[in-house]
Structure 1
């Protein structure tokens, strides 16, 4: 019996479509091609973050130049360091970095800070010389950096060797390019430090005649004039440098210093007062400029304090010295300056407290006490001692002398005084002025010690009282 196949009333039999197979093959091949292109990097993966464009060395260098012109030296240094990182073989970048690092040492207050910054500048310019050994400007910059490193207070026994090397670098720069104005200017600065004043003036005048548009030229010319005590002409050259770069605070400080020196030398009361006011005006400009640039720099306030101190206005001098300390509360040099003001104001006990922070260092509680107490919620600062150098010897002398002078049998500071004065004698005993101060302090303590030995301790016999009658 023939049975008819069942008709598909409710379902369709699956049939393979040739077009569907072809489409699937095409999709598989396209997916494989896409994956290979992604792996090769020809096609970027979707949903990746938008890439940030890489900055060029020129971009960082322009930022550095703009920051320097604006007076933001630390930001300028950071920008040039980034430029050197991006292109470490660029000698010009290293040379410009070294120049700014050297100038920025002018804004530091302690010898240790200045020495470290100048060492960084020397490392930068040495890198530039390796990269461009025949570049006149690079050698001129190295002469400049070496000269500032040759400061005897900072370099000690190496000062003369560094100065001679600076002179050789300047002469090499001029040999490579005898029209290099910066090389002439820096050579003149070196000649001043070698005490060759007439030759220095001849060289700097050549630089001024060739190009008077450079700040460095007028700064060095002012330095040459200062070295020959022509302070009025010197401040005018600094003012010309300010016209070229109006945001460098150390130039305003230099103008103020020259006005202050003119005031100190003047015998006319009204003129002296006017000159001191002009000095204060330039220091105040520097302080306000720092505030606008959000730069924490205690130097203008220290300069203001010293100016008032020279005029005998110790109260306002101390206020400005304290303001400088608030900016850098761990700086021992600033405590020393305040201590000298207190000593001149005859606040001897206050001077001892502050100078201890400079000479021996102090704890937060001691620094608070030295500054007359801290506000509620304000902590004092830990202050490290300032090493004994030619810059700090006055602080040690004043501290030791005050300890000796205020010593009494009931409160004897002489052991500490003699320790401090012995350190001064060991380091600077060959200086007759310093030796005389040390002798005077030691003599006070020796006299006190002798009096304690010779004077017997009094024995008090009780006075008999009459027996009361009944």
Structure 2
């Protein structure tokens, strides 16, 4: 057999080639990183991606959920935003107006509810909530007309009858109110506001225990509706059950702490029970929530008076009176506080103001006599 002559095999220098490749990659990466750092310094940080805002209809749903959960401020914000995104969305205006009614911003509520009717005059909801807003604003004749319109546009719309029942009751027609409230219950007894107005119809008929039972049944499903606790407390107060009233009003302040009226009502009950310290705290919270709430200032002044704090009493009584709460008691007590501080020149004015309201006011006469 044939044997080839032996030749030494050439060694491949693969390791040298790999080393060169690694060095080249390292140099390239270093240059690229420096370039990216330079670009980043010139350009600045990239903006954080902004999530897409939800639609007007979705805001409407958010508002509905917040309302039923008792978060009225959140509901108002959602409905307001819905109207900004879609100025033709009538339900957003109507439901925003309804929240404003429960916040006792009734003039604003009427204006917004009218806008809903302008947008969609064939909407029973628009007419029904306009009925509610007008009623709470003291425009009862117009409220009745709006409620009738709601039931005419859609004879099967339960809230139309419910709000019309409320207006009839405030007009002094409790029997008509009861008939319409029952009709609303027949159409939709699961609607919380239909049930609330059924309780109100009982209340107007003097059936206070039935009213409380209806309100309490409603709260079993919707436990955070603060205004329903106010309804319960009002009925307990009529029944002279101050403990029950205080408990209901206190609960209202817990589930809806942003409602100044709830704090005023709770403070008024504990004031009547002689707890002036607790009353002071409640009224103080109310004026912090709403500095323009005249009744809250006046009640706070009365609580300070009972605690013999004449100076603070004067401040808040004057503020409450200037904001419109010119009750005889406020005028007389303000005069007394001033007289206790030897400021009879100012006190006489308020005693005389009280006598214009009630010429036979004994405290006003006594105050005048003490200053002369």
Q: Of Structure 1 and Structure 2, which has the larger fraction of its residues in helix?
A: 2
Partner of residue 284, structure 1 = 250
* 1:186 CA drift (Å): 0.9
- 8 A contact 2:294–2:323 mirrored in 1: no
Partner of residue 94, structure 1 = 93
- 8 A contact 1:333–1:358 mirrored in 2: no
Matched, 1:133 2:121: yes
* 1:130 CA drift (Å): 1.0
Unmatched 5+ stretches in structure 2: 1-45
**Which residues in structure 2 correspond to 1:135-174 (within 5 Å)?**
135-150=123-138, 162-174=139-151
Cα deviations across residues 114-170 of structure 1 (Å, max 9, x unaligned)?
A: xxx2222112111111111122221111111111111xxxxxxxxxxx221111111
Partner of residue 226, structure 1 = 203
- 8 A contact 2:62–2:78 mirrored in 1: yes
Q: 2:274 & 2:174 partners in 1: Cα distance?
A: 35
Matched, 1:121 2:79: no
Alignment CA distance shift 1:228-1:401 (3 Å): farther
Cα deviations across residues 255-309 of structure 1 (Å, max 9, x unaligned)?
A: 12322332x2xxxxxxxxxx4433333333333334xxxx444544443333333
Count of residues in correspondence between the two structures: 327
The TM-score, its normalising length taken from structure 1, stands at 0.62
Partner of residue 274, structure 2 = 312
The TM-score, its normalising length taken from structure 2, stands at 0.77
Partner SS for 2:266: helix
Match for 2:184 among 196, 207, 216? 207
Q: 1:446 & 1:276 partners in 2: Cα distance?
A: 36
* 1:424 CA drift (Å): 4.1
Unmatched 5+ stretches in structure 1: 1-46, 106-116, 151-161, 265-274, 362-383, 450-470
Alignment CA distance shift 1:282-1:447 (3 Å): closer
Partner SS for 2:360: helix
- 8 A contact 2:90–2:117 mirrored in 1: yes
* 1:227 CA drift (Å): 2.5
Q: 2:107 & 2:67 partners in 1: Cα distance?
A: 20
**Which residues in structure 2 correspond to 1:315-354 (within 5 Å)?**
315-322=277-284, 324=286, 333-343=295-305, 345=306, 347=307, 349-350=308-309, 352-354=310-312
Q: 2:170 & 2:71 partners in 1: Cα distance?
A: 28
Matched, 1:388 2:319: no
Partner SS for 2:88: coil
Matched, 1:357 2:315: yes
Q: 2:96 & 2:292 partners in 1: Cα distance?
A: 28
Partner SS for 2:185: helix
Matched, 1:177 2:151: no
Q: 1:418 & 1:251 partners in 2: Cα distance?
A: 43
* 1:88 CA drift (Å): 0.5
Partner of residue 17, structure 1 = none
Matched, 1:79 2:86: no
Matched, 1:198 2:175: yes
Q: CA RMSD of the aligned region, Å?
A: 2.9
- 8 A contact 2:116–2:126 mirrored in 1: yes
Partner SS for 2:223: coil
Q: 1:210 & 1:413 partners in 2: Cα distance?
A: 63
Q: 1:261 & 1:130 partners in 2: Cα distance?
A: 40
